[in-house]
A and B are shown apart, each in its own frame.
Chain A
Amino acid sequence: GESVGLHLPTLSVQEGDNSIINCAYSNSASDYFIWYKQESGKGPQFIIDIRSNMDKRQGQRVTVLLNKTVKHLSLQIAATQPGDSAVYFCAENIGAQSGGGADGLTFGKGTHLIIQP
């Protein structure tokens, strides 16, 4: 029978090309967004974050773009390398509860990035 499970979108890119991974978030009240990378058998690894008062933020080989109008987030990876193969998750946070501090993150379904040699 058909197996039931999470269908991850897959993005296949050539080594050395740029990768763009997209994410649509659900809550217009979200004001903090994070991208995580998860390799097989490991926990999510922080890549980059962005707050809602910004629309772009750059890190080492990565850029995150935030479009609040259409509730869209993207992660750009420059010069993709074999070590970039992983599942990429975007996560959003709807704002600190009274008193601030870390709240639960709401994660997207993830995109599986495959690097072709």
Chain B
Amino acid sequence: KAGVTQTPRYLIKTRGQQVTLSCSPISGHRSVSWYQQTPGQGLQFLFEYFSETQRNKGNFPGRFSGRQFSNSRSEMNVSTLELGDSALYLCASSLGTSGRFQETQYFGPGTRLLVL
């Protein structure tokens, strides 16, 4: 089975621009979560999508948004980029089935965003 894929792998933008990142989950997985990884803050949860709906959200400003399509692919958008948005953006997929216990999340390789 193919793993989680993310495009593009690298991106350079300037302050004020917007950016869209894409994530294709493992086949059969319906939940996609996004994380931001920086040297200062480590790995932080952005949001999770399931069945085209945002199900959970971390503590990031509204400039960070996302969506999920009917095939479970997800996109993340950051508007009005700031220097501090430079980071590795990771997506993770899981089955997303309901139940008492959590499921293993599988990560993609990430998109490295540099804001100049």
Contact = CB atoms under 8 A, between A and B. Distances in A.
Interface residues of A, number: 32
5 contacts: A46-B104, A100-B97, A102-B94, A103-B48, A103-B56
Contacts of B70: none
Interface string A92-117: 01011101111111111110000000
Contacts of A89: 43
Interface of B: 4, 31, 33, 35, 38-45, 47-48, 50, 55-56, 58, 90, 92, 94, 96-110
Given A46-B106, A102-B105, A107 B99 contact: no
Interface of A: 4-6, 32, 34, 36, 41-46, 49, 51, 89, 91, 93, 95-97, 99-110
B110 A102 contact: no
Contact of B110 (A43, A105, A107): A43
Contacts of B103: 101-102
Contacts of B99: 96, 100-101
B98 A99 contact: yes
Contact of A42 (B42, B45, B98, B109): B109
A60 to B, nearest CB: 16
Nearest to A43: B107
A56 B15 CA distance: 48
Contact of A6 (B42, B96, B107): B42
Contacts of B94: 102
B58 A100 contact: no
